[in-house]
Structures are given as structure tokens and as C-alpha cells.
Chain A
Amino acid sequence: MTPSSTLTEPPARTAGGSAAARAARRRALLNWVAVHALAIAAALFFLLPFVFVFLTSVMNDQQALTTDYWPASWNWGNYGKVWDTPGFLTWWRNTLVYAGAGTLLTVLSSLPVAYALAKFRFRGRNLALMAVIAMMMLPPQVTVIPMYLFWAKQMGLGGSLWPLIIPTAFGDAFSIFLLRQFLLTIPKEYLEAARIDGCGDLRTLLRVVLPMAKPAIAAVALFQFFYCWNDYFGPQIYASDNHEAWTLSYGLESFKAAHHTNWNLTMAATLLVMAPVIVLFFFAQKAFIEGVTLTGVKG
């Protein structure tokens, strides 16, 4: 290598470097544009259904049957009409009772079980865990016939939501599994420290574990609430005979049938059923996302 070439090299490298930097910046910009264009396209796919449902929900009866998608007039009264539909408030109340009681009982009954499965060492723990997973994966239809006969014929609870609420007091496989996954991450030093301080098992669970497990409990509670809110099969089996015991999910479908030509009212009702879960999500976004992640990723 001659001295001259060493002398000419640094400027050349700088020039080439800035050209490369410019190229890199251009590539980064193009990449940014491509990614965001794709994201916007995807966002349209996820958002447009909501937009069309909303626009139709404020149309008048005639326009809702046309291919004209911008409301000619904004009939906010449609929501009032849906709200005043006979039964709608009852369905609302039933759903809240089912989801509220179901959520509370599920958390109360699943937490000690999850704690035992995560932190106690006992014979048959693996077997118990496999049974939890098997129950989690069991389609509800597999056991529905004997369960229906038991609740409706033997216990006389047909036409009510009790057959759906009572079992939540005996642990829910999915909640137990999710809580256990979380409790495994609590270092056992905390539990030992509590024991040395003279805490019994129950006190350790309530005073030490419960505060630490709040995010997981919130996630489980949300999942259970959504499950009950969305449940269609359960109310269809147990409550369909009794109009007074219908839930929103079951009622919405019959609402569509009763108003079979009124897409505007049906869409208003649909949004009214969706709204609470979406509002709840915005308040508890973090807990919910953490819960989803916990089920899938943290084996």
C-alpha cells in the first residue's frame, strides 16, 4: 500500500460513508412508509366493520335496507328504541348478575387451588395438573347432557342461570391454570419469610401472595367476566325456556329475529352489547394484555 493511497483513503471513506448513510436513511424511510401503509390497511380491515355497524345503527328503517352507507339523517333515537325493547333491561341485569357472581366466585375458589398446585409439594400433583389441563380443553358439550339432567330434572333449576353460576364456586380450570403459572414466578423466599414470621398458610396466601398476584387475579377476573358476558351455549341450554332469565348474548339473537327487517335497530343493539366489554378493556388494558401473554408465552 503506497503512502498516497493511505492519504486519499480517509476522505474517500467519509464520502462513501455519507452516501451509504443517505442510502440507509432512504431505506429506513421506505421501510417506515411500507410498514405503516400495511398497518393502515390492516387497521381498516379491523375497524371498518365497527364503522359500518355504527353508521347503520343511526339510519332510519328505510335507508338501512339500501346500499347507501352514509346516514341521510342521524337517528340517535334508535338506541333509545333498543333500550326500551321489552326484556332488554332484564337481559342486561341477568348478564351482569351471571358475569359478576361468576367472576367473584371463580377468583375466590380458584386462587387457593392454584396456590396449592404452584407451591405445595404433594403426591399426585402432576396428575392434578394434567386433570386441570384436560378440563380446560374439554368442550362444554361433552358433559352437557348429564349436567342438564342433573340441574333441570334433579335440582329443578331449569329456566334459570343458577346451573351456570353455581359451578363457578368450585374452581375454573383455565383460571387455576393461569393463576398457577403466575404464582410459580413468586420466589419461595417470600413464603418462607412469612412462615418464619409465624404466618399460617391461609394468612400467607391472603397477606403475602394475594397482593403480589394482583395483576394475575385482575387478568383472571377479566377473562371470566368476558366469558360469562359472551356465553351463548350455557344460557341457550338452561335459560332459553324462560324469557325472564335470558342474557344479552341470547337475547340479541332473538332481537334480530323479532326485527328481521330492521338492520338499523339490530346494529344499535349489537353495539350496545359490545360496548361494555370494550369500555372495560380500555380501563383494564394492561391486565388483559398481560393475561393473554401469560397464557401463551410463559409456559
Chain B
Amino acid sequence: MSLAFGTRKGAGATTPAAPATQHLLRRKRRRETARTLAFLSPWLIGVSVFFVYPLVSTAYFSLTQYNGFGAPAFNGLKNWDYVLDELPTFWQGLRNTLWLVLVMVTLRVAFGLGIGLLITKVKTGAGFFRTVFYLPYLAPPVAATVAFAFLLNPGTGPLNHLLGELGLPQPGWFADPDWSKPALTLLAMWGIGDLMVIFMASLLDVPQEQYEAAELDGAGPFQRFRYVTLPNISPIIMFAVVTGVIQTMQYYTQAIVAGKVASGIAGNSGQQFEPGYPQGSTWTLPQMVYNLGFQRFDYGAACVVALVLFAISMAVTSILLRRRSGFMASDD
């Protein structure tokens, strides 16, 4: 993108214009600034009130002791010490997130690509299959999680029944700390529809001549995939990985609902549900913000976790911004 107003400024510098023309130019420029501000105004307010202000406040609260009553009392880095040193749940949340990023994101991208490839090869009933593969993505996360808590329940759930019939082991899924994250992963695989569509579109964009050329050179299906398909769609894979990591950093609804349903404790039963059931295995940092802030009313500590979350998310976003110059594409 060229610098803003670059051409107009340049024009003014090279041809010394008459004072009247200069006056007109200045007025035109002022008018353009005004219209830009007018069009941007909803978002300029939005960005200051819902982004800059709360971000600065979060940073400030992280340095104070505050429970919502009275005034926040400055206490330096005590919240940071507390969260990082005394809350093992913080590190557990970070480990769980790392697990989810490694396993869930990898499998989702691989499976999404696989389903995307499959749908481009389907000749009969492609519309039907595409709809079927896409539908679960639309299921509201709470509904999908409650449904999976039923499908995967260890005693009477259809999946364990089937595994039993096949003589396979029947895991405890959402009730077993070793299996709760795999159960969430299975749920995530079910909702692959968005990635399927993105991969499908990018696969159809690969120039057909490259496949033909590769075939003439004697490349088999695997080589064609490796040397033609992959290089062509690698920006999309990158995009899917980075946005997948960011989504996983925010992983909340499915984890908390699965824990609540599996443990049998719910929001309105009077019992307070400690997220992470069973044994902290589904505990993630966003739930920790909720738990510290809205269950324990320790806003200072909650803001420490929020800032960690912010730092990691923005680090990942910066990769996206650097790699995908397309994001900054402009019309000139």
C-alpha cells in the first residue's frame, strides 16, 4: 500500500500551485479526513471502549488487590507471584492448553484436510456428503457437548456399548482424567465442517495443469499430493493452524459444560462447580479467569491470567500477520 495521501502530497510538491488551488486542496483533504473519521466512528468508539480501555484496566487490576468492593489497592507484583508460584492450577491449565494445541489442532487440520480431499473426489451425491460433513459444525457448542456427554457416557453411552460389542476397552471419557481431553478432541473432530469447506475451496483452486504435468512426469497419487497439492495449499494449512491455536487458547464452553454434565453439578443447583472436572484435566486458562474472577472474586489474580492469555494470543496473531500478507492486501 502506498502511503496515505502520498500521491496528492507529491503532486502538490512538484507543481507549485496557485494559493487558491492550494486552499482548495487543503479543504478537500480536510473533507476527506472528516468523511474517513465519520465512516470509522462506530469502530473508533468500539476500539477505545471495548479494547483499549479494558486492556489497560486489566493491566492495572493485575497490580492491585480488588474484590469488586471499595477501591482497588495497589500491591505490586503480588498477584503475579501468587498465580505463578502458588496456584498449581495455572501450570496445569497451561499444560492442558499445550496438550489441546498439539493434539486437537494437529488432528483437526489433518482430518479437515482429509475430509476436504475426500469431498473433492466424491462423484455421486457430493452435495449430500458435503452437507452431512458440514452440519455438526453448526451445532451450538453447549448442545453438542451435552449430546457428546450422553454419547460418551461410560455406562450406557452408545459408543462404549459399541466398543464393548467389539471387545475393545471402554474408556471413562469425560469422567476419566486420562480420557477427558481425548473426548473433547473427538467432539472437536465432529465439528470439522468449517475447515472442510476452506480446504475444499483451496483444493479446487489448485491449477489442474500442474496435476497433468506431474502425471506426465510419472508422479503417482502420493507424489502428486506431496509435490503439487501440498505446496499449493500450504498457506491455507498455515492459516488453519494459526487460527486453530488461537481458538484453542480461548477453549472454554465445551470444557466447562463437559465437566459440569459429567460431574452432575450444574450452575443453578446451589453447588459451586469448580471447572476442570475430572481432577483439573479439562481446566484451561479462560476457565481460570472465570473461576478466579467470578467465583472467587479475586479480580487481581484473574487479570494476571487474562494478561498471560493476551500475551500468548497476540504472539500467535503476530505470526499470522507476518505470514499472511494477504490480510493486508489493498486495492492499490
Q: Count contacts on A: residues with CB < 8 A to the other chain.
A: 106
- Mark A273-298 against chain B: 1 for CB-CB distance below 8 A, else 0: 11001100100010001001101111
Most buried by B among A43, A257, A271: A257
Residues of A with C-beta under 8 A to B307: 142
Q: How far apart are the CA atoms of A267 and B261 in the complex, in Å?
A: 13
Contact between A118 and B331, CB atoms less than 8 A apart: yes
Partner of A144, one of B5, B143, B293: B293
Contact between B138 and A277, CB atoms less than 8 A apart: yes
Q: How far apart are the CA atoms of A19 and B327 in the complex, in Å?
A: 52
Q: How far apart are the CA atoms of A148 and B53 in the complex, in Å?
A: 13
Asked whether B57 is an interface residue with its Cβ less than 8 Å from the other chain, the reply is yes
Nearest CB in chain A: distance from B270 CB, A: 10
Residues of B with C-beta under 8 A to A139: 249-250, 286, 309-310, 313
Look across to chain A and name the residue whose beta carbon is closest to the beta carbon of B299: A145
Contact between A129 and B309, CB atoms less than 8 A apart: no
Partner of B138, one of A31, A126, A133, A226: A226
Contact between A134 and B314, CB atoms less than 8 A apart: yes
- Mark A220-247 against chain B: 1 for CB-CB distance below 8 A, else 0: 0000001001101100110010010000
Contacts A39-B118, A171-B42, A297-B202 hold; do A129 and B328 have CB atoms under 8 A apart? yes
Q: How far apart are the CA atoms of A138 and B144 in the complex, in Å?
A: 24
Residues of B with C-beta under 8 A to A273: 140, 142-143
Contact between B33 and A122, CB atoms less than 8 A apart: yes
Asked whether A74 is an interface residue with its Cβ less than 8 Å from the other chain, the reply is no
Residues of A with C-beta under 8 A to B317: 133-134, 137
Residues of B with C-beta under 8 A to A119: 331
Contact between A143 and B58, CB atoms less than 8 A apart: yes
Asked whether B124 is an interface residue with its Cβ less than 8 Å from the other chain, the reply is yes
Nearest CB in chain B: distance from A27 CB, A: 11
Quick one: which of A148-196 are within 8 Å of B by CB?
Answer: 148-150, 153, 167, 169-171, 176, 184, 188
Contact between B146 and A170, CB atoms less than 8 A apart: no
Most buried by A among B149, B235, B267: B267
Contact between A143 and B250, CB atoms less than 8 A apart: no
Residues of A with C-beta under 8 A to B55: 142-143
Contacts A249-B140, A263-B150 hold; do A131 and B253 have CB atoms under 8 A apart? no
Residues of B with C-beta under 8 A to A67: 156, 158, 161
Residues of B with C-beta under 8 A to A289: 134, 197
Look across to chain B and name the residue whose beta carbon is closest to the beta carbon of A243: B268
Residues of B with C-beta under 8 A to A129: 327-328
Asked whether B198 is an interface residue with its Cβ less than 8 Å from the other chain, the reply is yes
Q: How far apart are the CA atoms of A74 and B58 in the complex, in Å?
A: 53
Q: How far apart are the CA atoms of A187 and B239 in the complex, in Å?
A: 26
Asked whether B236 is an interface residue with its Cβ less than 8 Å from the other chain, the reply is yes
Contact between B313 and A237, CB atoms less than 8 A apart: no
Asked whether A23 is an interface residue with its Cβ less than 8 Å from the other chain, the reply is no
Contacts A46-B132, A144-B306 hold; do A252 and B5 have CB atoms under 8 A apart? no
Look across to chain B and name the residue whose beta carbon is closest to the beta carbon of A191: B331
Look across to chain B and name the residue whose beta carbon is closest to the beta carbon of A295: B198
Nearest CB in chain B: distance from A159 CB, A: 13
Residues of A with C-beta under 8 A to B202: 296-297
Asked whether A147 is an interface residue with its Cβ less than 8 Å from the other chain, the reply is yes
Contact between A296 and B240, CB atoms less than 8 A apart: yes
Asked whether B207 is an interface residue with its Cβ less than 8 Å from the other chain, the reply is no
Q: How far apart are the CA atoms of A131 and B141 in the complex, in Å?
A: 28
Nearest CB in chain B: distance from A180 CB, A: 10
Look across to chain A and name the residue whose beta carbon is closest to the beta carbon of B136: A46
Asked whether B252 is an interface residue with its Cβ less than 8 Å from the other chain, the reply is yes
Residues of A with C-beta under 8 A to B266: 253-254, 256-258, 260
Look across to chain A and name the residue whose beta carbon is closest to the beta carbon of B221: A31
Residues of A with C-beta under 8 A to B123: 32, 35-36
Quick one: which of A91-143 are within 8 Å of B by CB?
Answer: 109-110, 112-113, 115-126, 128-135, 137-143
Asked whether A53 is an interface residue with its Cβ less than 8 Å from the other chain, the reply is yes
Contact between A113 and B42, CB atoms less than 8 A apart: yes
Contact between A141 and B142, CB atoms less than 8 A apart: no
Look across to chain A and name the residue whose beta carbon is closest to the beta carbon of B314: A134
Asked whether B173 is an interface residue with its Cβ less than 8 Å from the other chain, the reply is no
Partner of B289, one of A66, A124, A145, A232: A145
Q: How far apart are the CA atoms of A118 and B289 in the complex, in Å?
A: 36
Contact between B327 and A292, CB atoms less than 8 A apart: no
Asked whether B73 is an interface residue with its Cβ less than 8 Å from the other chain, the reply is no
Asked whether B246 is an interface residue with its Cβ less than 8 Å from the other chain, the reply is yes
Contact between A137 and B135, CB atoms less than 8 A apart: no
Residues of B with C-beta under 8 A to A31: 121
Contact between B139 and A297, CB atoms less than 8 A apart: no
Contact between B36 and A116, CB atoms less than 8 A apart: yes
Asked whether B174 is an interface residue with its Cβ less than 8 Å from the other chain, the reply is no
Asked whether A52 is an interface residue with its Cβ less than 8 Å from the other chain, the reply is yes
Contact between A66 and B42, CB atoms less than 8 A apart: no
Contacts A120-B39, A139-B250, A149-B68 hold; do A274 and B139 have CB atoms under 8 A apart? yes
Partner of A277, one of B50, B57, B139, B269: B139
Can you show 18 pairs from A to B with CB atoms below 8 A apart? A46-B133, A46-B136, A47-B132, A120-B36, A124-B4, A140-B250, A141-B252, A145-B303, A149-B299, A226-B138, A230-B141, A230-B253, A249-B142, A253-B267, A257-B269, A266-B150, A274-B140, A297-B205
Q: Which 7 A-B pairs have CB atoms at the shortest separation, nearest pair first? A: A299-B326, A257-B266, A170-B46, A296-B198, A146-B57, A143-B54, A171-B43
Q: A42-B133, A45-B190, A113-B43 are in contact. List 16 more A-B contacts (CB 8 A).
A: A39-B129, A42-B115, A118-B331, A121-B2, A133-B321, A135-B51, A145-B58, A170-B43, A170-B45, A248-B140, A249-B141, A253-B146, A267-B147, A274-B139, A293-B198, A297-B236
